Structure 1
Amino acid sequence: MTDVDTALWRSDLELIADAARQAGKVALGYFNQAPEVWWKNEGRSPVSAADFAANRTLESILRSARPDYGWLSEETEDSGDRLSRDTLFIIDPIDGTRAFLAGMDLWCVSVAVVRHGRPVAGVLYAPALEELFEAVKGGVALKNGRPITVSTKPLDAPGRFAIAEDVLKAFPEPFKHRIERVKHVPSLAYRIAMVADGQIDGTFIKHNSHDWDLAAADLILERAGGRLVDLRGDVPLYNRMQVSHGELCAAAGPRLADLITRIGERRGS
């Protein structure tokens, strides 16, 4: 990574942080105001007027500032043009729409800059909580301007995990008793940020997460000392033809390796 690259990614980080704040302000104007809601993915996923308004704000700011970057957003019709771009924005205008619509604070604006398949700048802004997570390639992860790091509890200490109840029940008893299951966190991006911030020790992510759920949080976790990986231990690649992902784990050090091993044992592999 050259000094020119570093300067560009830091400039991009400033840009996307400002854009996320502005989009968050727009979304917050709809919060607890019963915005109009539609259903997508055969009626499985809600999308609201707030999602679309925040998306328009992000698109207006970012695409005018970096017209040569590609674009992938949950709330914009996908275009194959992005596959020809080395660098692009990956956006979720409101990650945690169900929580947003229920009046819960756990939702955020997710914005990443991805270069050659991996994030180089990422921001998560949770306006209802007044929290801004940010990271740039080669830098440290920050929350409201202060460095954050993953939990450093020893492996034999009880761990706090965000994990589905049905998944936890399938683990062997000795491992299961070392886990405190935390209450469901409706925003996947925010859940990964909680791992980065040391609030929880790890999380297991079921299949069918998407680039926009993961890219910004992935970099924030990495720069906080953790990793987001699949069950082979490989990091996700973004801006592929297929934007959904299989099962993933997020944690740090021995806890990550232990979680992957236990999932393998659960399946008899």
Structure 2
Amino acid sequence: MPDISPGAVAAVAAEAASKARERWQGELDVWEKEPGHPVSDVDLLVDDFLRAELYRLDPGAGYLSEETIDDGARLGKSRVWVVDPIDGTRDFIRERTGWCVSVALIDGGQPVIGVLEAPARGERWLAAAGQGATRNGKPIAVSGRTQLTGARVPAHHVPKADADLICVDQPNSIALRIAMVAAGEADILATLRWGHEWDVGAAALIASEAGATVTDALGAPLIFNTHAAEAFGVLVTTPGIHAAAVERLRARAEALVVR
């Protein structure tokens, strides 16, 4: 495996994010890949740039991205770049700040480097396996919350069954919402739907390196570079409330997981 530094990956992500920021709040070509899933020409521009530059860093790694057709070649490789060129496209096209460029390097099914570049927010989130996580170069850590009641969740509203949780700011990017847990600005992030690996690859490492417990919606470990490139939900919490969160969500998750 090439000796790839987290800084080198961050530099590529930063340049990609700079290209996106140049077009943010400007003229965009926007269409829907499928109903409710917008994409812009900038998503594709950033994807092309990342694919080329990450190949330079590690020519032997596979590539999995929201905006590149998956040809399955990555399945025969132990190392894979998992990329969302613009996570939070809705916020990007609405000229809001809740978007980022997400880049993860997966090795043996687990992220070993994760970067989120959020230039509209002035944020760079970075983690490497076993080396902790930072925001703008400063170490971050999860909160010490041990009670589920009163836990902060990045959401505009919550179901009645979760009325004891406290809603805080919700950027459109799920990666940034996970990062909020990593930085102690939220205590729990949960989704109960099938989601793609590129949405959470980098953020999952950032959160776990910051001390969070990161699983799928049923409490099982996340595995990356799978055939479907999907997992059922993601649950990111402070360690002290994870078991309670899994128990609360179990019935809802089990009812929804069957396709």
The two structures share one fold, judged by TM-score above 0.5:
yes
Q: 2:23 aligns with which of 17, 30, 34?
A: 30
Cα displacement string for residues 117-147 of structure 1 (whole angstroms, at most 9, x for unaligned residues): 1100100010111100000011110000000
Contact 1:170 1:266 in 2 (8 A): no
Q: 2:232 aligns with which of 238, 246, 250?
A: 246
SS of equivalent to 1:256: helix
Q: CA deviation at 1:256?
A: 1.3
Farther off after superposition, 248-257 or 185-194: 248-257
Looking at structure 2, the residues matched to 58 and 261 of structure 1 have their Cα atoms a distance apart, in angstroms, of: 39
Partner residue in 1 for 2:221 = 235
The answer on 1:102 being equivalent to 2:88 is no
Matches for 1:1-269 after TM superposition, within 5 Å? 8=3, 11-40=4-33, 42-155=34-147, 158-163=150-155, 165=157, 168-171=159-162, 176-177=163-164, 179-264=165-250
Counterpart residue identity of residue 83, structure 1: L
* TM-score normalised by the chain length of structure 1: 0.89
Seq. identity, %: 35
Q: 1:268 to 1:13 in 2, by over 3 A?
A: closer
Unaligned runs of 5+ in 1: none
Cα displacement string for residues 191-218 of structure 1 (whole angstroms, at most 9, x for unaligned residues): 0000000111111113122110011000
Counterpart residue identity of residue 34, structure 1: E
Q: 1:80 to 1:17 in 2, by over 3 A?
A: same
Looking at structure 2, the residues matched to 102 and 267 of structure 1 have their Cα atoms a distance apart, in angstroms, of: 31
Looking at structure 1, the residues matched to 156 and 217 of structure 2 have their Cα atoms a distance apart, in angstroms, of: 17
Counterpart residue identity of residue 38, structure 1: W
Looking at structure 2, the residues matched to 25 and 207 of structure 1 have their Cα atoms a distance apart, in angstroms, of: 31
Q: 1:15 to 1:268 in 2, by over 3 A?
A: closer
Cα displacement string for residues 237-256 of structure 1 (whole angstroms, at most 9, x for unaligned residues): 11111112212211021211
Looking at structure 2, the residues matched to 61 and 182 of structure 1 have their Cα atoms a distance apart, in angstroms, of: 36
SS of equivalent to 1:247: strand
CA RMSD, aligned part only?
2.0
Looking at structure 2, the residues matched to 208 and 265 of structure 1 have their Cα atoms a distance apart, in angstroms, of: 16
Counterpart residue identity of residue 184, structure 2: G
Farther off after superposition, 86-95 or 253-262: 253-262
Q: 1:33 to 1:126 in 2, by over 3 A?
A: same
SS of equivalent to 1:195: helix
Unaligned runs of 5+ in 2: none
Contact 1:17 1:123 in 2 (8 A): yes
Aligned pair count? 255
Q: 1:225 to 1:203 in 2, by over 3 A?
A: same
Counterpart residue identity of residue 159, structure 2: L
